[in-house]
Amino acid sequence: MNEPDSRRPIAARNTGWADKIARWLASTGITPNQISFASMVFGVLAAGLFFLSADQFGERSVWAQAGLLVGAILTIQMRLLCNLFDGMVAVEGGKGAKDGPFWNEFPDRVSDLAIFAGAGYAAGYPELGWAVGGLAVMAAYVRELGHAVGLDADFIGPMAKQHRMAFLCLGALITCFEHLWNWQGKALFITLLIIAIGTIMTIIRRAVRQVRALKQT
């Protein structure tokens, strides 16, 4: 079937394992909105794990810090899986609701802001984390603004949501080794800086494309 123009293109959506899980979820009493809400819960959990791993919040073993970061990575992945399955259950499973558009977007904005804020504390630069979270929300706003005025939703990067989460997970993984091997690196700080620059580029690129498209219509 043709995908709605507001739906993020995700390669995993066309895999057999995703289809089987989505069909199973659709056969239960679980609704797409509940899955979307779960994505926000996982996002906030990831933020909390990042927050607890920060050096300034007390002495803990390097294994404990690494474990908290691994937990943050896993909960981010769970958040992304929820983002995948809520749409599949709603569209392919035929269980979409009238308030679905709200639950499709609002939990993502909460998750983005919370996750990056938590990562900022973990990196020792909370202001940068909050700034990246704000930029992520802004990138989504520009995309939804275009869709609201009749354009196809623009998911172009270079730092769309899946790219931001992939970079953040990589940075968190490298930070795990920094703790375990007593490196004095700044992997998470550098990661957030790269995400910030890439997200600014994404906002500008989407905005320019949107203005051009509006002028042509």
Residue range 7-15: mean pLDDT, rounded? 84
Domains for the chain: give ranges and CATH numbers. 12-216 (1.20.120.1760)
Residue pointed to by tokens 């994404």: 202
Q: Report the pLDDT value the prediction gives residue 33, as an integer from 0 to 100.
A: 96
| Residue 213 predicted with pLDDT over 70 | yes
| Residue 183 predicted with pLDDT over 80 | no
Q: Report the pLDDT value the prediction gives residue 184, as an integer from 0 to 100.
A: 72
Per-residue model confidence as pLDDT tens digits over 109-129? 999 999 999 999 999 999 999
* Euclidean distance between CA atoms 70 and 68, whole angstroms: 5
More confident residue, 49 or 7: 49
Alpha-carbon distances, residue 146 vs 81, 205, 207, 217 (angstroms): 26, 12, 8, 12
120: nearest Cα among 133, 108, 107, 111? 133
Q: Report the pLDDT value the prediction gives residue 58, as an integer from 0 to 100.
A: 65
Residue range 201-213: mean pLDDT, rounded? 97
